[in-house]
Structure 1
Amino acid sequence: MSASAPVRPIEFRNTALGATIAVLRETEPARLADELHKMLGGMPDFFSGEAAVLDFGGLAEHPARIDWAGLLSLLRRYQLQPVGIRNLDPALVAGARKAGLAVLDSAEIHDRPAAESPRPAPAPQRVEAPAPAPLPAGTLFIDRPLRSGQQVYARGGDLVLLAGMSNGAEVIADGSIHCFGPLRGRALAGAQGNPAARIIATNFGPELVSISGVYRTFERGIPEAIAGRGAQVRLTTGQDQTLDIEPLQLD
């Protein structure tokens, strides 16, 4: 009788929508690093910037805490861009949100097992809130205010918010995000790993902004020069990727 295959601490699956699902049975970055090196042959660009949803449903028991900085850094080492989580203990969700990850338990993501060696997948998942169909050019227009708890995802293009969004709302776009109203809540642009994406708002006041997986939070408040004013967020590439936030001249 043949022995059953060992259970891997991490497993990758593809979805019908093209996202990569990383099923985690271990959360310690050091332990996962050895497994990823064996699985991916040490290839630092294996995933080529694909977006991923981290699925914690495979954990035997949820840890007291997760080293989000270490975990995300490890995955990005292989050019995987984590954009969301699902099946996570509610006690740990706040930490995931602070790390710039969307909560996607209600998202329509149907995964299927990948082959023995994971195959990269091109596009991230969808999200929750109902929205008008995108225009052929790939731009999604939202002409109503987004309330707390609502999520909108512009797959494959830009997102334009004509009426702004409230704290607790979340918007994700593969391209740029343009907000002609109060920008509150969480705004994640370049979700597929596009470093050229930008976030532009006429009234800047978000809880979190992210471009291509690089994020910034504002627990200590918005800088006075841009609080409630027009501002632009873009990613500075180089040895160290950082988010630059600068005032917009709207006059």
Structure 2
Amino acid sequence: MSQTPIELKGSSFTLSVIHLHHTQPEVVSQALQDKIDQAPAFLKNAPVVLNVSSLNGAVNWKEMQQAIAATGLRIVGVSGCKDDALKRMITRAGLPVLSEGKESKPQAEALPEPIVQAAEASKTRIINTPVRSGQQIYARNADLIVTSSVSAGAELVADGNIHIYGTMRGRALAGASGDRDCQIFCTSLSAELVSIAGEYWIMDQLPAEFFGKAARLCLQDGVLTIKTLL
């Protein structure tokens, strides 16, 4: 039994990053609400990081924070902040200012849901067992290969490509560090969500003719595209 009441560990989480391009809170709020209406199951009450690197001009941070929070999104931090005055406002608002490496996912010091994490020795992570609901597998700086099925409620995350050789019913997020050349390969596509470098479809957006079929997803001209897996 542990001698201390808590144990602090580092872990990795996939968070959506909202890049703000407008200083008017009501404009940002409406744009966010439109996105949430498109994918409520994915975005409702979701934890998010705000990236403010593209903001030019004065911004009323208190109003901006309130407008975003009113949509139901949970702000867990702010990145891309280069203005000292804005940093002070963000800090006074009780939010952490996050520093980014090469636009990688923010790191959170917390205990996640049950995670199956592959070893980091090779450039390809291979999972030979079924991925069950509530599990997350993250392949850091690598491709991810799952030779079995992925249940609904499970999540696959890879900085590289993702290959699923069983039925895919969960979520697959390839190019998690922003690599837009990554792809998703699946022999039976019934996913709750698929995403490449932040561009995503939920289940209802998957073309009906590909549902339950072998498929390959990639980005073409920045748009998520699906093709038959030959």
Using structure 1 for the length normalisation, give the TM-score. 0.53
Q: Give me the whole-angstrom Cα distance separating, in 1, the residues matched to 2:51 and 2:116.
A: 37
Does the aligned pair in 2 maintain the 1:196–1:234 contact within 8 Å? yes
Q: Give me the whole-angstrom Cα distance separating, in 2, the residues matched to 1:119 and 1:63.
A: 22
How big is the shift at 1:65? 2.3
**Structure 1 stretch displaced more, 182-191 or 118-127:** 118-127
Q: Give me the whole-angstrom Cα distance separating, in 2, the residues matched to 1:195 and 1:216.
A: 15
Does the aligned pair in 2 maintain the 1:131–1:142 contact within 8 Å? no
Change in CA separation of 1:231 and 1:36 when aligned onto 2, cut-off 3 Å: closer
Q: Does 1:244 align with 2:229?
A: no
**Residue 210 of structure 2 aligns with which residue?**
226
Does the aligned pair in 1 maintain the 2:118–2:138 contact within 8 Å? no
**Residue 6 of structure 2 aligns with which residue?**
none
**Structure 1 stretch displaced more, 171-180 or 137-146:** 137-146
Change in CA separation of 1:60 and 1:149 when aligned onto 2, cut-off 3 Å: same
**Residue 99 of structure 1 aligns with which residue?**
none
How big is the shift at 1:147? 1.1
After superposition, give the CA deviation of every residue in 1:99-127 in whole Å (9 maximum; x if it has no partner).
xxxxxxxxxxxxxx66xxx6432332486
Q: Does 1:163 align with 2:157?
A: no
**Residue 65 of structure 1 aligns with which residue?**
71
Q: Give me the whole-angstrom Cα distance separating, in 1, the residues matched to 2:51 and 2:150.
A: 39
How many aligned residue pairs are there?
A: 167
Aligned counterparts, 1:1-251, within 5 A: 30-31=24-25, 42=56, 63-66=69-72, 119-122=99-102, 123-124=104-105, 125=107, 129-134=115-120, 136-219=121-204, 222-237=206-221, 241-249=222-230
Instruction: List gaps (5 residues or longer) in structure 2.
Output: 1-9, 29-49, 57-64, 81-95
Where 2:156 maps in the other structure, the secondary structure is strand
Which is richer in helix? 2
Instruction: List gaps (5 residues or longer) in structure 1.
Output: 1-15, 43-58, 79-112
Change in CA separation of 1:231 and 1:65 when aligned onto 2, cut-off 3 Å: same
After superposition, give the CA deviation of every residue in 1:73-121 in whole Å (9 maximum; x if it has no partner).
xx99x7xxxxxxxxxxxxxxxxxxxxxxxxxxxxxxxxxx66xxx6432
Q: Give me the whole-angstrom Cα distance separating, in 1, the residues matched to 2:130 and 2:12.
A: 29
Q: CA RMSD in A?
A: 4.3
After superposition, give the CA deviation of every residue in 1:115-149 in whole Å (9 maximum; x if it has no partner).
xxx64323324865133313x33211111111111
Change in CA separation of 1:162 and 1:18 when aligned onto 2, cut-off 3 Å: closer
Does the aligned pair in 2 maintain the 1:182–1:205 contact within 8 Å? yes
Change in CA separation of 1:41 and 1:203 when aligned onto 2, cut-off 3 Å: closer
Change in CA separation of 1:130 and 1:233 when aligned onto 2, cut-off 3 Å: same
Using structure 2 for the length normalisation, give the TM-score. 0.58
How big is the shift at 1:30? 2.8
Q: Letter of the aligned partner of 1:247 in structure 2?
A: T
Q: Give me the whole-angstrom Cα distance separating, in 1, the residues matched to 2:132 and 2:215.
A: 21
How big is the shift at 1:62? 8.9
| Percent identical residues | 33
After superposition, give the CA deviation of every residue in 1:223-243 in whole Å (9 maximum; x if it has no partner).
342221110000112xxx211
How big is the shift at 1:66? 4.1
Change in CA separation of 1:177 and 1:29 when aligned onto 2, cut-off 3 Å: farther
How big is the shift at 1:36? 7.3
After superposition, give the CA deviation of every residue in 1:180-217 in whole Å (9 maximum; x if it has no partner).
11111111100110000000001111011110111111
After superposition, give the CA deviation of every residue in 1:32-81 in whole Å (9 maximum; x if it has no partner).
98x976x7674xxxxxxxxxxxxxxxx7899452489xx9xxx99x7xxx
